[in-house]
Amino acid sequence: MAASSSPYVTLISNDGFEFIIRREAACVAGTIKKMLDPQSACALPFDVHAHAVIYTMRVTILTSQNNHSGVVLEKVCEYLYYNLKHKDEKDVPDMEIPPELCLELLMAADYLHV
């Protein structure tokens, strides 16, 4: 259970990019939260590593080109921090999303439930 107390989570995209983000940011995404919750049915089998490593394979499968999954995951991580930052604000500015990424992000958001 040492891994669950780690304050950071590593997200790895299919094309090999690793994103190390804070656990509370990662828990904004419903799917990741379930994975990290040891009580949950779909919890990840934690190993002895310090970081919980989540392979976002499903995301990359759904995107049309696997080469770009790192770009998509980067945007997802940006959103997770954006959500954390503006949690209690009333006037939230929209996050910029480039139009070429909108479909990929749509599928990633649906999978990650965020």
Contact residues: another protein, CB under 8 A? 61-62, 64, 76, 79, 82-83, 86-92, 94-95, 97-99, 101-103, 105-110, 112-114
Alpha-carbon 12 to chain mean position? 9
Nearer to another protein, 57 or 95 (CB): 95
- Closer CB to another protein, residue 19 or residue 82? 82
Minimum CB separation of residue 81 from another protein in Å reads 11
The number of beta carbons lying within 10 Å of the beta carbon of residue 14 is 20
Overall size of the chain counted in residues: 114
For another protein, the closer CB: 50 or 106: 106
Return the number of other C-beta atoms located less than 10 Å from residue 105's C-beta.
18
Query: Phi/psi at 34 (nearest 5 deg)?
Result: -65, -40
- CA–CA distance, 15 with 54 (Å, rounded to integer): 14
**91: amino acid identity, one letter:** D
By beta-carbon proximity to another protein, the closer residue of 3 and 109 is 109
